[in-house]
Structure 1
Amino acid sequence: MENVTSALWNSSLHQLSNVSSPFVTAFLQFSATLVVLAFALFYLHKFLFVDKGRDMQPRLPPLLVKPWPIVGSLPEMVRNRPTFRWIHQLMKDANTEIGYIRFGNVHVITVTCPEIARQFLKEKDAVFASRPTIMAADLTTKGFLTTALVPMGDQWKKMRKVLVNEMLAPIRHRWLQEKRDEEADNLVRYVYNLCVSAGGLVNVRVASQQYCGNVPRNILFSRRYFGEGKEDGGPGFEEEEHVSAVFTILAYLYSFCVSDYMPRLRRLDLDGHEKVMKEALRIIGKYHDPIIDERIQQWKNGEKTEEKKADDLLDVLISLKDKKGGILLTPDEIKAQLTEFMIATVDNPSNAVEWALAEMLNQPEILEKAAEEIDRVVGRERLVEETDFPKLNYVKACAREAFRLHPIAPFNVPHVSLEDTTVAGYFIPKGSHVLLSRTALGRNPKVWEDPLKFKPERHLMDKEDGVSLTLTEADLRFISFSTGMRGCKGILLGSSMTFMVFARLLQCFSWSIPPANGPTIDLTEAKDSLFIANPLVAVAKPRLPPNMYPVHLA
């Protein structure tokens, strides 16, 4: 390097000496010497200190696939759909519990070990408390106006306060008890009517998703149906379209879209994801927006006032005031938050109940034991109520086991690192996306004995007598509801919905496998999701006195 630099300067000096004075020539020779010394000191410092110091820094987690320049491993991501199965196979092949893939310039960190997961979401929770600014979240939240899906910032703080203090506070939960009870009764009515009209054949996925769609519709909008519904209590076309759109949003929300990692390509919509998302959100808006707009107008016109009792959570949001007495939330904030509330409510309980019942049909002794517990605690002369839940530990153990073995999503909602940090001895760069694997945590053989077997008893082994079981898992041995600063704020509502739909189906009906299915239920997972591949259809028969079944509901 010194020889090259000297040659260049000598060449320049020779040319300048023809036109310059001896003084100028001497000055330039002195300057050249300084430049050569600067280069020499730079490389000496780099060799002695910088490189050696860099070697002492923690290294990145194991690289799961070698990246290309600029695009990283995006070509492999696109070729290997569904991406979540490809990533899990890479982790298995590498025999590691933490790894990373580079998509574009983004480091995507994947974790399958509960101990490492706790370091991310407990020890360094504040560092990983943000969300990625991806296309689907942008569309769903109308430009990041909500709570669960938005990056850290003032808007998140504002909406989190609204969600926790106004929408999901215990006092609101008690206030909305009657609406939840209405939908629990309607679920029983619907399945009972199928026993009469359809020979007892029940599509459990439809029934459970119907209930999980009805509850938020009722507590948000004070209505079960957007259309006329069905006389048997089941969903009409409008409700089926609405719930289908919700699950489409959930499927595409964090689906490894190319533009999530190279935002400048978003306008090209290379995956076609944005088109699908916009159509699903159009359907949601078709049903939500007219109700919201009309209700806002009612408050403006004085048809609804603070002196009159609010009917539902929509009234609560519209009536909120800021410190100066002005309107706290804009119409877009209300619409976006209610959409996010809906998609956060429908999926987990319905998926857990379908999987749990499918597993229990293949192990009838578990089904019988759960029903016997309900008979012992509640009896057959009244229906299960939410106040019974603390005493139904075996039923809750079945629900926990479904969450462990059959999570609704392969990964948790991504966390984003707000700064460079170290976790489990590995360097995690600022801006990294951290994905905790729900499937691998819940099925980790180092944590769970016989991890692929449905065994509710495992959740009762260390439980003291008289202590009520919950769906939450503080040690992240599986993920039912996310934890930490960005954890799920709707645990009370989500748990109540899960227990209620499950307990009512077990109490009110005996279940069996349709003869045409053979001796067992096929428990194969769908290829592109974690749903059971074929929706569960089972035979239901009433097991309570006839007068216990709701027949006429408003």
Structure 2
Amino acid sequence: MKRELHRLPPGPAGLPIIGSAHHMISNKPVFRWIHRLLKEMNTNIMCLRFGAVHVVVVSCPEIAREVLRKNDAVFASRPITFASGSFSFGYKGSILSPYGEQWKKMKRVITSEILSTALERRLHGRRAEEADHLVRFVYNQYCDTTANRSVDVRHVAQHFCGNMIRRLMFSKRHFVEPRLASAGAGPGPDEVEHVNALFTLLNHVYSFCVSDYFPVLVGLDLDGHEKVVHGVTATLNRLHDPVIEERLHEWSTLRQHGEKREIRDFLDVLVTLEDSEGQPLLSLEEIKAQTAEIMYAIIDNPSNAVEWALAEMMNKPEVMEKAMNELNTVVGKERLVQESDIPRLNYLKACIREAFRMHPYHAFNPPHVAMEDTTVAGYLIPKDSHVIISRVGLGRNPNIWVDPLEFQPERHLMSSSNVVLTETDLRFISFSTGRRGCPGVSLGSSVTMMLFARLLQGFSWTKLPDVQTIELKESTTNLALAEPLILPAEPRLPVHLYESI
């Protein structure tokens, strides 16, 4: 009976000392191997042992709710790894930091100051300008009569997100403004490198690196992981540091003269926060860490969801027709869609929910670390275990979803008259929940929906002449489309709307 009460979740038999680490090393990408194991063992919860670390995988909504709601306080920490420590500048931010006073401090900064309703309203104009720039860029780059009309949707979507977060963070789209910046200018070399670095970061943090579970191996760089991490950190430092240091100097000078100016962006907020004694609340390292976290938190999910949604809709003309009919009815063709229209664009939101469900960018949520022994689904979860929630297991679970591999936005219209991008029952994960849930639901929803709605409203999309069906194949290394989505685009609104932005 004692053994039964202290039983770990089912899992493969491991070797002494290393557990299943040899399988982790030889089965790349690791997330596909883990999902094969879940299927072979016919279980919704599984325990793997990598060295001394128990990694518990959860793949159904009921157990996920038990982890992220019932036991939220127990699972409020994060692992200590080489990549997460590097990317957080020594755990100075909010997303990657383990549970403790530093995490609490930065979480308060993010929720109360950066993502406050007042600041979101104040920065509405910036977001609207970037939505206009998106349409202008596609129109000028791809829809000119002499230009190639085939649009790289991934490039457009990722750089819209990059432009957006740089504008909100730094008040500028380019790190160094180009000398001949036309109205529809695209990203320069620095901006391309910036976005690439942010995606590389997202692909390497919590990526089952061997030293994550055997810290004694840090420094040997057996899998080349550390070299990549150093490269990303160097790129972010090169691009972010001059902007941050210039802003610190500007506000220091203003303070010395007893002057102030209006808060313009997220960086102003971070630089000007003061403690109870009137001293700067955040150190340089904390500002750098939080800047980087805000950058990468916004860039992957909107761009990935919109690319997948468009790809799916190209193979389902009836879905595209319903989306366009909704845009024509709610917005019309005499003005551009705005953030204020989003509450009434329920079918478009259902399309994005379906993309989040079927096609998350990451297979797993970031790991939650158990801060004490606890029980989940009747199994023992030992202290210091890593618990990872499978986004794939939730969103494509045949016990939860009818025809789970079919793109059917209508399934999200039945439960509510006002569709939202969050999923409170954890039948899939968009923004997660609990203490470690994403606090930027409103901003993330706005960025995602404006990207999607402007691309659909502004242009008619078709397949390339020699393409009958869009191949919906996943990348081998993550869940993005294997190849960037390339689609011809034609303007579908009156010419004066494109020329006036």
TM-score tier by shorter-chain length is: over 0.9
Superposition pairs for residues 442-481 of structure 1, below 5 Å?
442-463=395-416, 467-481=417-431
Q: Find the counterpart in structure 1 of residue 2 from structure 2.
A: 54
Of the three residues 158, 164, 187, the one matched with 2:105 is 158
Q: Provide the alpha-carbon RMSD of the alignment.
A: 1.3
Separation of aligned partners in 2, 1:474 and 1:447:
14
Superposition pairs for residues 51-450 of structure 1, below 5 Å?
54-63=2-11, 65-193=12-140, 194-196=142-144, 197-228=146-177, 231=182, 232-302=184-254, 307-450=260-403
Structure 1's consecutive aligned runs of 4 or more residues displaced over 4 angstroms after TM superposition are 303-306
TM-score under structure 1 length normalisation: 0.88
Is the CA contact (8 Å cut-off) linking 2:391 and 2:428 kept in structure 1? yes
Separation of aligned partners in 2, 1:236 and 1:254:
30
Separation of aligned partners in 1, 2:258 and 2:174:
25
Is the CA contact (8 Å cut-off) linking 1:185 and 1:550 kept in structure 2? no
Is the CA contact (8 Å cut-off) linking 2:254 and 2:260 kept in structure 1? no
Is the CA contact (8 Å cut-off) linking 1:227 and 1:239 kept in structure 2? no
Separation of aligned partners in 2, 1:551 and 1:240:
27
Separation of aligned partners in 2, 1:236 and 1:394:
35
Deviation at 1:56, TM superposition (A): 4.4
Aligned residue identity for 2:217: L
Deviation at 1:228, TM superposition (A): 4.0
Rate the CA distance shift 1:202–1:306 in 2: closer, same or farther, 3 A. Answer: farther
Rate the CA distance shift 1:551–1:287 in 2: closer, same or farther, 3 A. Answer: farther
Mean Cα deviation higher: 306-315 or 290-299: 306-315
Q: Report SS of the residue matched to 2:460.
A: strand
Q: Find the counterpart in structure 2 of residue 507 from structure 1.
A: 457
Deviation at 1:550, TM superposition (A): 4.6
Separation of aligned partners in 2, 1:198 and 1:355:
25
Separation of aligned partners in 1, 2:177 and 2:464:
31
Aligned residue identity for 1:265: L
Q: Find the counterpart in structure 2 of residue 491 from structure 1.
A: 441
Aligned residue identity for 2:449: F
* Structure with more helix by fraction: 1
Rate the CA distance shift 1:339–1:308 in 2: closer, same or farther, 3 A. Answer: same
Rate the CA distance shift 1:498–1:550 in 2: closer, same or farther, 3 A. Answer: farther
Please list the CA deviations of residues 61-109 of structure 1 after superposition, one character each: whole Å capped at 9, or x if unmatched: 001x221221221111110010000000011111111001000100000
Is the CA contact (8 Å cut-off) linking 1:132 and 1:151 kept in structure 2? yes
Separation of aligned partners in 1, 2:102 and 2:35:
34
Is the CA contact (8 Å cut-off) linking 1:179 and 1:218 kept in structure 2? yes
Is the CA contact (8 Å cut-off) linking 2:161 and 2:298 kept in structure 1? yes
Q: Report SS of the residue matched to 1:302.
A: helix
Q: Report SS of the residue matched to 1:269.
A: coil
Separation of aligned partners in 2, 1:219 and 1:130:
28
Aligned residue identity for 1:251: N
Please list the CA deviations of residues 18-51 of structure 1 after superposition, one character each: whole Å capped at 9, or x if unmatched: xxxxxxxxxxxxxxxxxxxxxxxxxxxxxxxxxx
TM-score under structure 2 length normalisation: 0.97
| Structure 1 residue runs without a partner (length 5+) | 1-52
| Structure 2 residue runs without a partner (length 5+) | none
Separation of aligned partners in 1, 2:302 and 2:498:
23
Is the CA contact (8 Å cut-off) linking 1:247 and 1:347 kept in structure 2? yes
Deviation at 1:551, TM superposition (A): 6.0
User: Does structure 1 residue 548 correspond to structure 2 residue 497?
Assistant: yes
Q: Find the counterpart in structure 2 of residue 522 from structure 1.
A: 471
Separation of aligned partners in 2, 1:402 and 1:305:
51
Rate the CA distance shift 1:462–1:305 in 2: closer, same or farther, 3 A. Answer: farther
Q: How many equivalent residue pairs?
A: 495
* Larger RCO: 1 or 2 (CA < 8 Å, sep 6+): 2
Is the CA contact (8 Å cut-off) linking 1:299 and 1:305 kept in structure 2? no
Separation of aligned partners in 1, 2:25 and 2:211:
12
- Structure ID, larger Rg: 1
Separation of aligned partners in 1, 2:338 and 2:258:
33
Please list the CA deviations of residues 333-372 of structure 1 after superposition, one character each: whole Å capped at 9, or x if unmatched: 0011000110101000000000000000011111111011
Aligned residue identity for 2:194: H
Separation of aligned partners in 1, 2:53 and 2:258:
49
Is the CA contact (8 Å cut-off) linking 2:76 and 2:436 kept in structure 1? yes
